Structure 1
């Protein structure tokens, strides 16, 4: 991580959208990113040579529920401990700021990564679900 700088803030909306795409994540609209990013509870991004190469953030109500989301590392920078460093920062924030018995969740696309911070699968007790809006389709 010597060549990388961790910044305790979210990237701008354009960088957010581009980094999600580069990391192979589902797209988010620029309008959605511009609306949503200011509502971040806590976020980090990682810069290398003046370019943002990774990001992660926490969203929620800052009291009862938090969600870790938008964890992305550009493929050219994966395997260097950047994701671990970002998760360490997010979990440290939760340890400091989240009230007792707050619920922290995430949806993971990577097996075996988040468990080291105590995350467990909810199945079969519960299951993750989602609904994606699509304003471009006619009703």
Structure 2
């Protein structure tokens, strides 16, 4: 059975479980409870009901959007699911966001090669991404 991709927000626990399994940093239950419902756009890939891939876009919807949470369960990596997730998110961005909206992301490892296929460009040395994680 082929995994199905839908526009939906993942549940709190399954979101946190998939992030961890995919090697992304762990998020708190409280943070997920606040953040997930505020998604501008979210997609889930499921196989027999289990969340095996996801991605979200967050932001104000008009000026700035940020692609986050692109994750695929290890057993499903290398099968094009990351590309399917990005395509679905970018289809929504192009359909709904106004012209000149800035869409950004932070690419871990070699993921920048995937994102480049969707028009994203590395900004260094002209600019540098920065991150502050509250502790």
Could you say which TM-score interval applies, normalised by the shorter chain?
A: over 0.9
Superposed counterparts of 1:54-69, under 5 Å: 54-69=53-68
- Alignment-derived partner of residue 10 in structure 1: 9
Larger Rg: 1
Residues 67-126 of structure 1: CA deviation (Å, up to 9, x unaligned): 000000000101111111111111110111110100000000124111000000010111
4+ aligned runs moved over 3 Å, structure 1: none
Secondary structure of the 1:113 match is: helix
Q: Distance in 2 between matches of 1:10 and 1:121?
A: 28
Secondary structure of the 2:42 match is: strand
| Alignment size in residue pairs | 133
Instruction: Report the TM-score, using the length of structure 1 for normalisation.
Output: 0.93
- Alignment-derived partner of residue 46 in structure 2: 47
In structure 2, stretches of 5+ residues that fail to align are: none
- Alignment-derived partner of residue 118 in structure 1: 119
Q: Distance in 1 between matches of 2:49 and 2:127?
A: 42
In structure 1, stretches of 5+ residues that fail to align are: 135-139
Secondary structure of the 1:16 match is: helix
Instruction: Report the TM-score, using the length of structure 2 for normalisation.
Output: 0.96
Superposed counterparts of 1:18-97, under 5 Å: 18-97=17-96
